[in-house]
Structure 1
Amino acid sequence: MTQSIVVQVGQCGNQVGCRFWDLALREHAHVNQKGVYDEALSSFFRNDDSRRAGGANYTGGRIIALKARAVLVDMEEGVLGEILQGPLRQLFSSTQLISDVSGSGNNWAVGHHTYGSTYREQIVDQVRRAAEQCDCLQCFFLIHSMGGGTGSGLGTFVLKLLEEEFPEVYRIVTSVYPTAEDDVITSPYNSVLAMKELTEHADCVLPVDNQGGVVKVEKPFDAMNNIVANLLLNITSSARFEGSLNMDLNEIAMNLVPFPRLHYLVSSLTPLYTLADVNVPTCRLDQMFSDAFSKEHQLIRADPKHNLYLACALMLRGNVQLSDLRRNIERLKPTLPFVPWNQEGWKTSLCSVPPVGHTHSLLTLANNTCIKSTFGELRERFLKLYRKKAHLHHYLAVDGMESAGFSEALSCLSTLIEDYTHLESPLMPNAPRLSIAT
């Protein structure tokens, strides 16, 4: 059985992460009603029953003390303090939490350079400790936001550390992007500086924005945290439960990323529900597939149907037959334009355990050129500040930060946009100029 470790960085990363742990426990409790520590639980939890010989390897009795396979990092104490006082406090030991008091001041450079160098050894030690408690470590999940200082700066610093220390372990990153209405004025700087690191050091990135797929609700951030946590529940379901056609986490990168740098995946969830939804209507199976390819169900504002698919994964949960899956793929194929050299670029999985309270659900992960429009809008917001040199002095005053870092990050983002645009060119040969991942 393989295991994964969740690394939560910054306020947003820790709030989303803790919602994931809460919902994951509910799913396992619903399925595992006898409370036995089994392989499904061991994928993201360890049994910390120190009173029995064998500790985390003990599988014969009732669950005594579950601990999450996680490292929690924030440079402010507020959210981590709430976790230690909250209902999930027993899931984490104090050594799994790394914090400071002053925060990063919405400055990527402070998070990346100042706190990165200060906490490097402590972070590495905690990640190694978590890794040593795994029998077969398969994947790191990094959860962070892009607009602030700690999530973007320290989050991408941690991503580089994971690559350096565990180069063979897959790194899947869930990144919450700011919208144009974000109240952090420097968020375009933070996001573009972080994008360079994500492009160079992640295996897959799942971009989510603070408005993607969310209708107007009383607490939009709570709703978004819940939706992102459900994204993570669905993407990890095959690792946690049995199914007739389970998908390994490493297959996501292997099958959906034909070019190493073009690893940004547009996700959609059906049914799409928030904390405010008490009774979610059951969605008909065929309608669920149609909804998954509508922009209303995307977790980032994008419209894949008017752009090219490089590859697409359908991750189903619940009582769904393989014949239903094949029939709907054939029905939708004519409406979904794929690149000419990967017309059969579909990856599918079936997990038998649905989310609690639902008969079935569908997560779609699409590698689609539509993401370039999101990145283009981000570049424009960056340039509005950068042309005026606005607020640059706050970054350049940080040890380790140089002005060239801004131009390099901008160049990296522009190249990424050009690569996606090139794939849409009608003159593009069947043998693309980009190097295919091996």
Structure 2
Amino acid sequence: MTQSVVVQVGQCGNQIGCCFWDLALREHAAVNQKGIYDEAISSFFRNVDTRVVGDGGSISKGKICSLKARAVLIDMEEGVVNEILQGPLRDVFDTKQLITDISGSGNNWAVGHRVFGSLYQDQILEKLRKSAEHCDCLQCFFIIHSMGGGTGSGLGTFLLKMLEDEFPEVYRFVTSIYPSEYHLYPLFLIASLLMFFPRKSLFDIISKIDLMVNSGKLGTTVKPKSLVTSSSGALKTRHKKPFDAMNNIVANLLLNLTSSARFEGSLNMDLNEISMNLVPFPQLHYLVSSLTPLYTLTDVNIPPRRLDQMFSDAFSKDHQLLRADPKHSLYLACALMVRGNVQISDVRRNIERLKPSLQFVSWNQEGWKTSLCSIPPVGHSHSLLALANNTCVKPTFMELKERFMRLYTKKAHLHHYLQVEGMEESCFTEAVSSLSALIQEYNQLDATKNMPVQDLPRLSIAM
């Protein structure tokens, strides 16, 4: 059985991570009601209860044995981590696997990357190695962070380079939240796979749900403690933790992404298979994701979507967790991760139904990867996570470059970064150059749309 380690960096990374662990525990508790430490639980949790001897042991009172998350928590401000340690999940995290400071990175990428990266490099490496030692077969690292601020972005990118150097054979799955389009840093050329979510896109999804609640389309059965909506149907942006609902959506995506690693299925997909099948070129590892249903029935009580409608939703622009419309762009590959009592014949039927409306690159017309996990999310009959490597991400990168250049030509805020020792202006020019090259590679692919195979140019994308 393979195991994975989650590395939560910065305030946003730790908040999303905490939500993921909460949902994962609820899901395992619903499935494993006898409290047995089995392979499914061991994929993301380790048993530290000495009363249980070996796998398959159980403890008294029918409760799941003492578990510790396979996680490393990092933040240069201790507030969020302290809050987690005082909350209901305090016993889930190993206090020896935490790294905090009190000063913070001052919302400065250079401070997080140059200052705290060097200062905490040895400690971080020690925690990572300790987590790896607790695994029988380490499959991948999940890195959860934000590209805003200083710790999540600066120390997060430093961590990625460290993982590449120290664990080159272990896949690196990056979940990155973009609070705005103004941030431009070296864009994870060393990640195995990157799923990024502009916060504005997540907020738009929550707004749509809120609109449906207020219009009565979801009925009146909104649960009082919903993460998506408050008891009155109002967005929780007016409450103490404005990003809870958005964090919940990302955490649910991670829950579905890891379902095959945690539960049985007739056609389970290893996490490394996602990268192997969806990333034909190392640089083009940015995935567009869609999840249906977007919220769990622990949030809103609504009738389940019909199976065929669920597949249609997954390819509509309204269900993308990025402002994009993949149907009008070029697919390099696509993975469908289905949960619940769904047959492979149902999946194949829907693929054949949708294929005429989707355009794949000429050399990968059958670029589909399918996963069937028999355990559905709590409260659902089935769910679907679609991951697409699609050129529709190009406009996001173009807008990112345009906004950055607008500031960079005015030298706006540049001094905040250059005053940090080791930070040079060449870092910015190199980042722009890398981003321009990435956009050009997507342009090359888009230019092949509707072109006969014999006329296709040789792509210059480096392998």
TM-score, scaled relative to structure 1: 0.93
C-alpha distance after superposition, 1:286-337 (max 9, x if no partner)? 0000000011111111111111000000000001111110000000000001
Q: 1:424 corresponds to which residue?
A: 446
Alpha-carbon separation, structure 1, partners of 2:84 and 2:118:
25
Counterpart amino acid of 1:204?
A: L
Secondary structure class of the residue paired with 1:390: coil
**Greater mean alpha carbon deviation, residues 260-269 or residues 371-380:** 371-380
Query: Which whole-Å CA distance do the structure 2 matches of 1:100 and 1:236 have between them?
Result: 31
Query: Which digits, 9 at most, give the CA deviation of each residue in 1:153-192, with x for residues without a partner?
Result: 1001111111111100000000111235xxxxxxx2xx32
**In the alignment, residue 29 of structure 2 is paired with which amino acid?**
A
Q: Distance in 2 between matches of 1:419 and 1:210?
A: 26
- Name 1:105's counterpart in structure 2: 106
Structure 1 residue 218 and structure 2 residue 236: aligned? Answer: yes
Partner secondary structure for residue 171 of structure 1:
strand
Once the two structures are superposed, the pairs formed by residues 39-438 of structure 1 within 5 Å of their partners are: 39-50=39-50, 57-62=54-59, 63-180=64-181, 188=182, 191-195=183-187, 198=188, 200-213=189-202, 214-216=205-207, 217-219=235-237, 221-273=243-295, 277-426=299-448, 430=456, 432-435=458-461
The residue number in structure 1 matching 2:210 is none
CA distance in 2, matches of 1:111, 1:232: 25
Q: 1:119 to 1:280 in 2, by over 3 A?
A: farther
Question: Match for residue 221 of structure 2?
Answer: none
Does the 8 Å contact 1:5/1:69 carry over to 2? Answer: yes
How far apart are the structure 1 equivalents of 2:143 and 2:297? 23
Distance 1:64 1:218, change over 3 A: closer
2:28, 2:366 → 1: CA distance? Answer: 35
Q: Answer yes or no: is the 8 Å Cα contact 1:223–1:275 preserved in 2.
A: no
Contact 2:278 2:335 (C-alpha < 8 Å) held by counterparts: yes
CA distance in 1, matches of 2:460, 2:336: 25
**Which sits farther off after the overlay, 62-71 or 274-283?**
274-283
Unaligned runs of 5+ residues in structure 1 are 181-187
Shift of 1:29: 0.2
Q: Secondary structure at the match of 1:193?
A: coil
Question: What letter corresponds to residue 21 of structure 1 in structure 2?
Answer: W
**Aligned residues with identical type, % of pairs:** 70
> 5+ residue gaps in structure 2?
208-234
Name the CA distance, whole Å, in 1 between partners of 2:401 and 2:460: 22
**Aligned mates of 1:384, 1:330 — CA distance in 2:** 45
> Does the 8 A contact of 2:36 with 2:58 survive in 1?
yes
Shift of 1:378: 1.1
| Count of equivalent residues | 422
Q: C-alpha displacement at 1:194, in angstroms? A: 4.2
Deviation at 1:215, TM superposition (A): 2.8
Change (3 A) 1:406 1:274: farther
Change (3 A) 1:345 1:58: closer
Partner of 2:214: none
Offset of residue 274 of structure 1? 6.9
Superposed CA deviations along residues 205-249 of structure 1, whole A, max 9, x for unmatched, are: 001121325232333511110000011001100000000000000
Q: Hey, what's the Cα distance between the residues in 2 that align with 1:51 and 1:162?
A: 34
Residues 274/376 of structure 1: CA separation in 2 closer, same or farther (3 Å cut): farther
Residue 277 of structure 1: how far off its partner (Å): 3.3
Shift of 1:386: 0.3
Code of the residue aligned with 1:298 in structure 2: it is Q
The letter of the residue matching 1:49 is D
Please state whether the residue corresponding to 1:215 is helix, strand or coil: helix
Are the counterparts in 2 of residues 269 and 297 from structure 1 also a CA contact under 8 Å?
A: yes
Alignment correspondent of 1:183? none
Per-residue deviation at 1:41?
Answer: 0.3
Distance 1:431 1:323, change over 3 A: farther
